[in-house]
Amino acid sequence: MKVLVTGSTGLVGSALCAGLVARGFHVVGTARSRPSVRIPGVDYRVVGELGSTTNWQDAVAGAKVVVHCAARVHIIHETLSDPLAAFRVVNVLGTEHLALQASAAGVQRLVYVSSIKVNGEETRDRPFTEQDRPQPSDAYAISKWEAERALHGIASRTGLEIVVVRPPLVYGPGVKGNFLSLMRLVHRGVPLPLGRCHNRRSLLGLGNFVDFLATCIDHPASSGETFVLSDGKDFSTPELIRHLAVAMGRPARLLPIPPALVQLATSVLGKPGIYQRLCGSLQVDPSHARRLLGWIPPQTTDAGLTATAQAFLKQP
């Protein structure tokens, strides 16, 4: 089967391409520019910037399934005056344009990598599920939710099968962003004022995510479904730091500062979002994926975190 993977040079896209090649799929990977690192067995296509005019015809020709990983991602230090407009160009119009061209080319299914941020930023009484009313709050999450709705509209008109997956934080070898920043702090032995955080956060290992996306490609029961996903084991931030520290052979320097003081300090610094990401809870219930598809994560969270930390230590 021929599968098109968009965003094939990103963390998830590149791992997915490698995983699908190993499973015997004919993989076409797209990127904005010529990739500097190529995965053996992947047929690459350069499509330029994503938007309402991107030409997907060559990439989608002969493909049965598209896994859409490419996106304008969440940006912490946003500088644009109207970020929602920029997110909509790529994540909404670009996704809609891809789906229409894919359907016209005979593609049967599109698996869309959305975000748990469509559900909301924080959980309190219970984990997020697929049945929750979406509550996207920032421009990125709003664009992802609008893209989901656009895809379902196309599905109703064309018969294109849509599968939506909303992952939480994805970690794994080569991870960037906040997770990489946290590993650097732990490795340097920086004291962190998080010892009294009692939050719970769901994580998703890269290998588990790849396995689930591969399952969605040809599982008949996944068509038309939305899935929230995780490894199934949730951590507090102090627990996560301790695990990473052990894997790196470093001490976990956690200061027992009351969370209220941490929240006050981040507010004074004008960065209240940091407190939410470090001390807030965000849990998901992945039982729908397990019941409907019979999916079981192939890697434990403990093993995945250890592999991530060890890959970090090997970086130059």
Domain at 32, CATH number = 3.40.50.720
Q: Is residue 226 part of a domain?
A: no
Q: Is residue 135 part of a domain?
A: yes
* Whether residue 146 is found in the same domain as residue 193: no
Instruction: Select from 142, 166, 190 the last residue of a domain.
Output: 166
pLDDT at 76: 56
Q: Is residue 280 part of a domain?
A: yes
Structural domain boundaries, residue 150: 2-166
The 10 Å Cβ neighbour count of residue 20 is 25
Instruction: List pLDDT tens digits, range 125-146.
Output: 999 999 999 999 999 999 999 9
Instruction: Select from 149, 166, 183 the last residue of a domain.
Output: 166
Q: Is residue 81 part of a domain?
A: yes
* Whether residue 71 is found in the same domain as residue 187: no
The 10 Å Cβ neighbour count of residue 58 is 12
* Whether residue 251 is found in the same domain as residue 111: no
* Whether residue 155 is found in the same domain as residue 192: no
Contacts of 279 (CB under 8 A, 6+ apart): 194, 197, 199, 237, 259, 262, 263
pLDDT at 263: 87
* Whether residue 15 is found in the same domain as residue 160: yes
Mean pLDDT of the chain: 94
Residues classed as catalytic: 140
Q: Is residue 137 part of a domain?
A: yes
pLDDT at 274: 82
Instruction: Select from 166, 183, 216 the last residue of a domain.
Output: 166
* Whether residue 188 is found in the same domain as residue 139: no
Identify the segments of the chain with pLDDT beneath 50: none
* Whether residue 189 is found in the same domain as residue 313: yes
Instruction: List pLDDT tens digits, range 163-178.
Output: 999 999 999 999 999 9
* Whether residue 161 is found in the same domain as residue 176: no
Quote the number of domains for the chain. 2
pLDDT at 133: 96
The CATH number covering residue 272 comes to 3.90.25
Q: Where are the alpha helices (DSSP H) in 136-258?
A: 139-158, 177-188, 206-218, 237-248
Extract the tokens encoding 305. Answer: 């975190």
pLDDT at 80: 73
* Whether residue 255 is found in the same domain as residue 157: no
Q: Is residue 291 part of a domain?
A: no
pTM of this prediction?
0.94
Distance CA 316, CA 305 (A): 19
pLDDT at 37: 87
Three-state secondary structure call for residue 165: strand
* Whether residue 187 is found in the same domain as residue 153: no
* Whether residue 154 is found in the same domain as residue 191: no
